[in-house]
Structure formats: C-alpha cells, structure tokens
Amino acid sequence: MARFKLWIGASAADTITRLAVQLGSTMVVARILSPEEFGLASMVLGVNTIMAAFIGLPFEESLAQRRKLYTAHLETALFVSAVLTVVSVLISVLCGPAIEHLADAPGFAMALIVSSLLLFAQGPGAVARAIARRHRRFVDLSICTAASTVLACGAAVLAAFAGWGVYALVLQRLLPLVFFPILALGFLHWRGQRIWLPMRWHAVRFRELFRFSWLHLADVGVTNAGPAALSFLVNAYFGQAILGQLNIALRIVDPLRMALMSVGHNLAFSVLVRLQTDVSRLTAKAGDIAAATGFVIIPAFVGLAISTPVLLPMLVGPGWEASIPLSQMLCLGVGLSLPFRFYFSGYSALGRPEYGLISSTLALAAMALLFVLAARAGLDAAAGIAFVSYEAATVVVAVAFAIFLLGRDMVPALTRMARIWLGALIMAGIIHWLYLRDPEIAVSGTKLLAIVLTGMVVYPVAMLVVCPACLRGFIGFVRDR
C-alpha cells in the first residue's frame, strides 16, 4: 500500500513536471515561430512517429508482459531496433524528397532525415522502460522521464532563440528519447546492475517475442499513422497555416494526454498483468480502473476545454485564435476516450494486442472518412470532427471487446461514465456562466485561476448530486490502492 502510494506520488510529480515544461516551452516557441513552421513540424513528426513505433515500442510491451525474460531477449530487441533505425534513416533519405515535392512542403526532407537520426535511442529506451516496468521501479521511471523532458524542452527553447525554426520543434519532441536511456543507465549503474548489453541476434528469442511484437507493432504503427494522416489531410485541404493551428491545439491537449496515458498504462498494467490467467476478472478490474480514472480525467479535459479561450491566448499569444475551437474539440475527444483506453491495457496484459490493432484500424478509417466528408462539405472544423470520430471509434471497440470477454452487457458501467460526464458538463456550464458569457473575454492569470478553483469546488458538489456512488467509488478505489 505504502509503495503504491509512492508510485502514485512519483507519477503525479512526473506528470505535473512534464506538463509544466512542455507548456512553458510551447509558450516561448509559439511566440518565435510561424504557423507554417508548426505545420511543417506536424508533418515531419507525424511520419517520424510512425518510424519510432516500428523501432522500440512493440518490443517494450512484449518484454514487459513476458512471464520469463532472459538476457538474450534484451539483446535481440536491441539488435532489431538498431537495424530498424538504419532502415528508417534510409527511408527518410530516399522518400523524404518525394514527400516534400508531393506535399509542397519545402524543408520537409532534411527535417525528416534529422529527426530519424534521433531515433537511435528509441531501442535502448524501450528496453530500459520494459525493465523498469517488470521490476516495478516506477519512481526511477518517473524521475528519468521528467528529467529527460526538462532537458529536451530547455534545448528546444535555446534552438528557437538561435533561429533553428522547425528543428526546435523536432528537438522538443524527440530529444527526450535521447536523454531517457542515458538517465536510465545512470540509475541502473547506481543500483549496481549491469548496464551494457551487446546487440545480438537470437533467432529463438526473436520468435518468442515476435508473436506478440508483430501484432503490437501493427497496432502501434496504425495508431501512430493517425496523426500523420490527419496532418497530411489538413495540409492538402487547408494548407500549412491551418495545419500549424492544429499543431498548437494539439500542444495544449497532448502533454496532459500523453503524461496521463503513459503513467496510467504503466501502473494499470502492473496491476492487470497479475490477473492475466483470469480473463473475466481482469476485464472487470480494467473497468474499475477506467471508472476511477474517468472520475478525474473527464472533468480535467472538460475543464481544459472550457478554459481554452483564456488559457491558449495566455500561452501562445496573438495569432492563434483559430486554434481555440479546435483545442476544445480535441479536449472533449480525449476526455471521451482516455478512460476506456485502460481496457486496452488489460487486453495487452492478456497478450491480445490484436484487439488494439482492430481498434486503431477502425478508428483510422473513421477519422479519414469523416474528415473528407466534413472538408468537402466546407466545414472549418473538419480536423476536430475527424479527431473526435477517431476517439469515439476507439471507445466503441473497447466496449465491444469488454462485453465479449465479460459475457454480459456494460450498461451499469456506461451509465456511471455518463453520470461523470453530466457532472463535468454541469461544472463547465457554471464556469461559462460565471466567467465566459461575455462576447469579449478578458485574458488574465487571475481569471484562469478563478476558473480552475471554481471547477475544483463545483465538480465534487455536482457529483454528490448526480452520482454520489461515483464519488464514493473513486474514494474507495484510492483507499484500496
């Protein structure tokens, strides 16, 4: 119990630190760089994220969920990741110029090559995270993750002041991949553990990892294709300036989403993997985690959405007004799907990554279809509509598989989620009535603080009215942990 509270505390500190430094660095670079540079970075990082998915992430999950892990598994993962990094660099060199020409995006090819070179640390980082998760060293993991983000954001700000343009945004996203394994090696050395492993090919160990890895690889690849596909669609239909507005909107949402998901998945996985021999019980526990986290996640993103007209201008300054409605739609989409993603943590613990692959494939198809329909209908909010459709499709698939595994309907669980949404929307309505109903919204730190404090008071009171059982369930869940 005491150890789990320590993990929660370290994870919370990690989340807060990463959120603060990422938003802080965005505040600086958004005042230096243009929307077109943000748009170009969105396309580069979209492609780069797909490459990164093929290099380390599948092996991390496979190494973390194995019941028996040998050094040869780690050596094989490092070897394959290194080979895939070389392949990614070659693809960038060969395909970058063609993509630059087709997308009419000057500078894309060189930025893609530079970003792909930074992926050399993805494999060692994935192995280090897998080892930390297996040994439940979440404090070490949190410290290394937070410190790597702080260092990377500092370097990105310096790069922006130095006039590096789009490369500052590339460094902001990818330098944490470089710093993390270096810091993790330091912790392993401090604990007296072996820190150097050779990169070797072990065919038997690769086959043992491959069944899980190739499915998870496909899942992660398709999942990471989503942002890239959306970036190129927005660029094709609306241009780089509007794509830059979408990039800024994502930068308001993504730090909190990524921090909550990475920390939450690691902690949830450590609980769920111990139930992997009992499918029904594991799925039910994943539902409990989804409901408990939803009690906090949903109002957090609803509150972020309602405060965006004040928060975003404070963070990035003038010239980004078109990002406000986009950011609000993105916040609501993430609030809808993020709690249900803990079901996929359970499916991963069961060794069934194909569930995630099905979800990401259907969600990608829904996103592309809805974007094209909305864009051809002349809707300015096409990108937001597509994003929300992606998140909604994820929820539908998560619920469908949970019903299949549980063998019963999920009406009580979904009703509980609906009541949490009702409480969060009541909170948002009161905040809007008190602070945001005037056509001209004054932007100030005092108003933002008042919005946050009001939400923290109103939401628990609203939940006492609409779902007191939800509030009791959340308190009980925290106490049990």
Show me where the domains of the chain are located: 1-227, 239-481
Report yes or no: 326 and 308 within 8 Å, Cβ to Cβ: no
Output the pLDDT for position 10.
65
Report yes or no: 235 and 243 within 8 Å, Cβ to Cβ: yes
Output the pLDDT for position 382.
92
Output the pLDDT for position 452.
92
Report yes or no: 335 and 290 within 8 Å, Cβ to Cβ: no
Q: What is the pTM of this model?
A: 0.77
Residue 167 has pLDDT above 90, yes or no: yes
Output the pLDDT for position 389.
95
Residue 12 has pLDDT above 90, yes or no: no
Distance CA 397, CA 406 (A): 14
Q: If DSSP states are collapsed to H, E and C, what string results for 147-213?
A: HHHHHHHHHHHHHHHCCCCHHHHHHHHHHHHHHHHHHHHHHHHHCCCCCCCCCCCCHHHHHHHHHHH
- pLDDT above 90 covers what percent of the chain? 29
Q: What is the mean pLDDT of the chain?
A: 83
Output the pLDDT for position 53.
74
Output the pLDDT for position 155.
92
Tell whether the torsion through CA atoms of 334, 336, 338 and 343 is positive or negative.
Answer: negative
Quote the tokens at residue 25: 């660095």
Output the pLDDT for position 140.
73
pLDDT (mean) for 261-289: 73
Residue 212 has pLDDT above 60, yes or no: no
- 5-14, 32-41, 180-189, 249-258: lowest mean pLDDT where? 5-14
Distance CA 59, CA 16 (A): 28
Q: What confidence category does residue 287 fall into, taking pLDDT thresholds of 50, 70 and 90?
A: confident
Quote the tokens at residue 5: 């509270």
Which residues have a Cβ under 8 Å from the Cβ of 191 and sit 6 or more positions away?
A: none
Over residues 403-462, the pLDDT tens digits come to 988 877 788 889 999 999 999 999 999 999 999 888 778 788 889 999 999 999 999 999
Output the pLDDT for position 210.
63
Q: What confidence category does residue 58 fall into, taking pLDDT thresholds of 50, 70 and 90?
A: low
Output the pLDDT for position 332.
94
Q: What confidence category does residue 474 fall into, taking pLDDT thresholds of 50, 70 and 90?
A: confident
CA 11 to chain centre: 15
CA 15 to chain centre: 12
3-state secondary structure of 140: helix
The residue with greater pLDDT, 327 or 198, is 327
Distance CA 395, CA 227 (A): 18
Token pair 């000057």 is at which residue?
A: 106
Output the pLDDT for position 367.
94
pLDDT (mean) for 318-335: 90
Report yes or no: 431 and 462 within 8 Å, Cβ to Cβ: no
